[in-house]
């Protein structure tokens, strides 16, 4: 793991419950796998920032906030009970990397990220 539960709490600006702490640790482990897949050669600081970003999005999407984190468009109606959200990248309920996360890891907006003549 590149980030700790305390790092996530600082970024969220809240204290997590005991159940949320266990969930957060599990998310941080999963985020580390995803981060390593995209940014194996990124710095530890970059991996920490991206891991925190991913987990904070997930935690905030599962709270009782009015607008999900990562929503690019939204619609709210009143008496017709309508509510629609469009998520920019990824979706609620999964860990995902944004374009910024990929840039931080050093793999965003490249035409060819790896090839037969590229050394890892």
Q: Evaluate if residue 52 carries a pLDDT over 60.
A: yes
Report the mean per-residue pLDDT for the chain: 80
Q: Evaluate if residue 19 carries a pLDDT over 70.
A: yes
pLDDT at 6: 95
Residues sharing a CB contact under 8 Å with residue 40, sequence separation 6 or more, in sequence order: 120
pLDDT band at 3 (very low <50, low <70, confident <90, very high): very high
**What is the pTM (predicted TM-score) of this model?**
0.69
Rg (CA), the chain: 16
Give the start-to-end residue ranges of the domains of the chain.
5-105
Segment 10-36 mean pLDDT? 92
Other CB atoms within 10 Å distance of the CB of residue 70:
19
pLDDT at 12: 85
Q: Evaluate if residue 80 carries a pLDDT over 60.
A: yes
d(CA 10, CA 33): 22
């Amino acid at each position: 793991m590149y980030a700790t539960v305390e790092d996530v709490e600082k970024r969220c600006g809240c204290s997590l419950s005991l159940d949320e702490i266990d969930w957060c640790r599990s998310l941080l482990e999963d985020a580390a796998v995803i981060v390593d897949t995209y940014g194996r050669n990124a710095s530890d600081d970059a991996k920490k920032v991206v891991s925190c970003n991913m987990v904070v999005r997930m935690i905030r999407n599962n709270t009782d906030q009015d607008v999900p984190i990562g929503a690019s468009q939204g619609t709210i109606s009143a008496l017709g009970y309508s509510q629609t959200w469009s998520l920019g990248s990824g979706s609620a309920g999964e860990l995902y990397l944004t374009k910024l996360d990929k840039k931080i890891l050093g793999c965003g907006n490249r035409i060819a990220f790896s090839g037969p003549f590229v050394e890892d």
